[in-house]
Structure 1
C-alpha cells in the first residue's frame, strides 16, 4: 500500500518548464482550517499560465474550501500563496483588492441576482469597479454575453432561462473585468450531458481564445478528462493531497487505490453491468 504521507506525483507540482507557461499561482505547504478543525494540510500546487487546473476528490474533502482560499476568501492557517511571485497575503487590503480584479469566479448555479436581468447582472462589476459611462458599460455587457452565446437574452430574468444558460450568464459576469484567471466551482453540476459538453467547449475556447488560466473544481469525469491538463487530488481522510497530475494521468498511471477507484469509477461501473 502506498505511503499516504507523500502524494503520488506524476510531475513536479512546482515545475516551471513544462505546459503552456510558467506558474501564475502557487501554494506551498498550505494548511486550511476553520478554527481548530483542519480541512486540508500540506498543500503544494502550481497552476501554470494558460492551463486548466482541476481540483479533484470525493465529497467533503475540501475542494470548494481550497477554491475559496485561492480567491482570497479564506486565509491559510500557514503556508504561502503566491500570485505571479507576489505573496498574496503580505500586502494590505487595498493591494489584495487590486489582485482580486485579476480573478473571475463562476459560482455554483451561476449565483445570479434574481431581481436583475442578465444584462444588469453582468453590468454590476463594471459599475462597481470601473469609471465607464452607461453606454460603454452596455457595450461591454453585450460583448460578454455575446461571448457566451447569450446576447439575445440580455433583458431576460434568471428565472426565465435554463440552468445551462444561467451558468453561461454567470460566466459572462465572471468575464466582466477581463480577468486573466478564472475559477469555476462545479460548472457542470446539474447539467445534462449535451449542455455540459457545450460548456466544456466554451471553457476551452476561453482558454485558447483569451489565453485565460482556469482553475476548476469538479467531480464530473467526462468534463475533467476532456478539458483539464493538470490537477491535484485531495483526500478527506488524511486531510491532505495524495496525488498531482492531469485527470488522464491519474486515471491511467496513479497507483494510489483511492485515486484509481475514483478516476476509474465510470469504467468500473460499466464493467459491472450484466
Structure 2
C-alpha cells in the first residue's frame, strides 16, 4: 500500500475485509496538517476501490485520536500571494476552505462504511471527521470539544452541517456555541457514539468485531444501505422511498440475493463475491 506522511494503513487480518486507517502524527497529537488534507481523500479512495477492503476503521496513533487542525495549516490559509483586489483574496480563501471540506467529505463519498474509533482527545476538526463517519465508538478516556468558537472561527468543515442530525439541533447549538469539553459518557447519551469501551485496546477489539460482522454481509446491500441513508437526509419520506425503489431495482436481482436465500435455506453462512 502507498506510504503517507500523515496516515498509516494496516490490514491486521488479511482475510477479514476490515482495514485500519490511522491518523499518524502522534508526536503532534495527530493534528491535521496540510499533508493530511491532500493524503486523506487519496487514502479513502484507494481503500474504497480495493476489493479486499469491505469496512474501514478510522483511529488515531498514540495517546489521542486527534487534537484538531494544525495551527500551521490555519496560518497557511491566511497567508500567501494576495491580489490587490479584496474580492479575489476572498475567493482564494473560499476555494481553500472548499478544498479542506472535500477532504472530510471523502468519508461520505466512500461507498464502504467507515467506523470511527475515538480515544483521548477529539477536538475541533476531529469532530468534523467523526461526524462524517458512518458509525462512532469511543473509549472511556475520550473527550470531545467543538472548539472552533474559542479560536474565533465558525466551524467550516462539516460539524455544523452534520452534528445536528446526530445529536439534535439544540444539543449541537449548545456544544458549538460553548466549545465546552464533554466526555465519552455524555457523547453516548447524546447519540454521538454508539458505545463506550473501557480502554483503547478494548475499543479497537470491539470495533473490529463490529466491522468484521458488517464485512460478512452482502457488499451490495451494505453500500446501498449507506448510500440510501445519506441521501435520505435531504429528501422527504416519499422522495426517499422513490430513491430506494430506484436503487433496489438496479441491484436487487443480484447473485448476492440468490446466495443469501440459498444460505438461509441450507442453514449456512453466505459467501459473497468481493466488490
Structure 2 length normalisation: TM-score? 0.29
TM-score under structure 1 length normalisation: 0.29
Question: Structure with the greater relative contact order (CA < 8 A, sep ≥ 6): 1 or 2?
Answer: 1
User: Which structure has the highest helix share of the two?
Assistant: 2
Q: Which has the higher strand share?
A: 1
